[in-house]
Amino acid sequence: MNRRDFVAGTVGASLVPVLGQAAANGQTPEPTVPAGKPQILELRRVHVKQGQMVTRYHEYAKNALVPALNRAGVKPVGAFSVAVGPDSPTVYLLLPHSSADSMLTLTSRLNDDAEYQKAATAWIWNQTSTIQVIQFSLV
């Protein structure tokens, strides 16, 4: 199964209860997503090593990264942890962007954010082991 089939199937399965209820009541379902400009979703996978790196990354994300992303206009940020499995521990971040430019300039905007740089200093300069960040975008 490829990613597009998975995403399409997941979205379709999530709409079945809503569409079924509306059809049973003789109503047409109202769209839950406002019509407008589509978003670009960026999915980042961060793989950290076992032990204190998991706690340190969660603290970094909670206190530095997510607030900085929100200030940069990337909100809401979805954060999902995988604790069991071959790639664990892994954190997935789902970042909604209003445009491709927003996605392409995010790193430079974070680098220019003085509050982020101050909050992230403990994480950036005191890493005792490496993390693997893999990012790709879903359009």
pLDDT tens digits, one per residue of 2-14:
555 555 555 444 4
Q: Domains plus CATH for the chain?
A: 1-35 (no CATH), 37-138 (3.30.70.100)
* Helix, strand, coil fractions of the chain, as percent rounded to 5: 45, 20, 30
Render pLDDT for 108-136 as a digit per residue (tens, 0 to 9): 999 899 999 888 887 765 554 445 555 55
DSSP state of 46: E
Does the pLDDT at position 94 exceed 90? yes
Burial 96-129 (b: 16+ CB within 10 A, else e): bbeeeebbeebeebbeebeebeebbeebeeeeee
Distance, CA of 9 to CA of 13 (rounded, Å) = 6
Judged against a pLDDT cut of 70, whether residue 138 lies above it is answered with no
Task: Using alpha carbons, select from 30, 93, 28, 26 the residue that is nearest to residue 66.
Answer: 93
45-56 confidence digits (pLDDT tens): 888 877 777 888
* The model's pTM: 0.64
Cross-strand pairs, 63: none
- Provide the 10 A C-beta neighbour count for residue 27: 9
CB atoms within 10 A of CB 68: 19
pLDDT for 11 equals 47
Residues 6 or more apart from 58 whose CB is under 8 A from it?
81, 91
